[in-house]
Chain A
Amino acid sequence: EAGVTQSPTHLIKTRGQQVTLRCSPISGHTSVYWYQQALGLGLQFLLWYDEGEERNRGNFPPRFSGRQFPNYSSELNVNALELEDSALYLCASSLGLGQQDEKLFFGSGTQLSVL
C-alpha cells in the first residue's frame, strides 16, 4: 500500500513568488495535515483538513492557505514568499475524525528554498 506522497520533493523560488505543494494521503485516510519544519527545528502545525473542511489552523499568516479535494488529496499554497518560508513542508494523513485513531503517517516532505 502506498504511503503519503508529496510533490515536488524540492523547489526553489524567489521572494514574492507563489508556490503550491501537493499531497496524496494514504488510501482510506480522510484527514490531511500540513506542518512546516525549519532546518534543525521542530514541527510547526499549519493546517488540518478532514472530509474537505478546514478543521484547524496554526499560527501562520493568511498567505498560507490550502484546500482538500473530494479524493482527499490536498494542496498547500503560499503567496508572497519570504526568505523565512524556506523549510521542509510535511504532509501527514490519518483515518480522520470519528475514527479514534490520532496516529499520523507522514510523507517525505517538500524542501522549499526561497532566495
Chain B
Amino acid sequence: GESVGLHLPTLSVQEGDNSIINCAYSNSASDYFIWYKQESGKGPQFIIDIRSNMDKRQGQRVTVLLNKTVKHLSLQIAATQPGDSAVYFCAEAGSARQLTFGSGTQLTVLP
C-alpha cells in the first residue's frame, strides 16, 4: 500500500550565495523563537534565538527576522558554505514555556 509521511521541504543554494529559510508559526501568543541546525546523525544545535520584542537579531553569518503581523520567522545565512548543509528547525514558545518545533527544512549547498 501507499506509505504516508511528512517529507522535509528542501532548499538548494550555490556555495557563496545567501540562504533564506522560512518558517510560519501558528500561535500568536508565542513570544520566543529559536533556530536549530541538525547535521546527519547528530542532535540539533542551537543557532540563534529572538524574543517577540525584537524584529531582527544578528549572529555570526546568521540573521533571524521576526514578523509578528503575519506570524513568520526567517533565518538568513550569509555566504553559505558546504558545512551549512543540514536540516534547519524553527521552534516557538508561549506561556507554557515549552518549545514547539516546526517540521524542518533540508538545506543543500551546491559546489
Contact = CB atoms under 8 A, between A and B. Distances in A.
Given A90-B43, A102-B97, A103-B49, A43 B34 contact: no
A102 B98 contact: yes
Given A41-B5, A42-B104, A106 B98 contact: no
B43 A107 contact: yes
B99 interface: yes
B89 A42 contact: yes
Which secondary structure dominates chain B's binding surface?
A: loop
Contact of A40 (B7, B32, B46, B102): B7
B57 to A, nearest CB: 14
Nearest to A97: B97
A56 B98 CA distance: 9
A42 B38 CA distance: 10
Contacts of A90: 43-44
Given A43-B89, A107-B43, A48 B101 contact: no
Interface in B42-57: 42-46, 49
B8 interface: yes
A108 B43 contact: yes
A106 B44 contact: yes
Contacts of A45: 100-101
A107 B45 CA distance: 9
Contacts of A108: 41-43
A105 interface: yes
Contacts of A48: 98
17 contacts: A4-B43, A41-B8, A42-B89, A42-B104, A43-B89, A43-B104, A45-B100, A55-B98, A56-B96, A90-B43, A100-B97, A102-B32, A105-B46, A106-B36, A106-B43, A108-B41, A108-B42
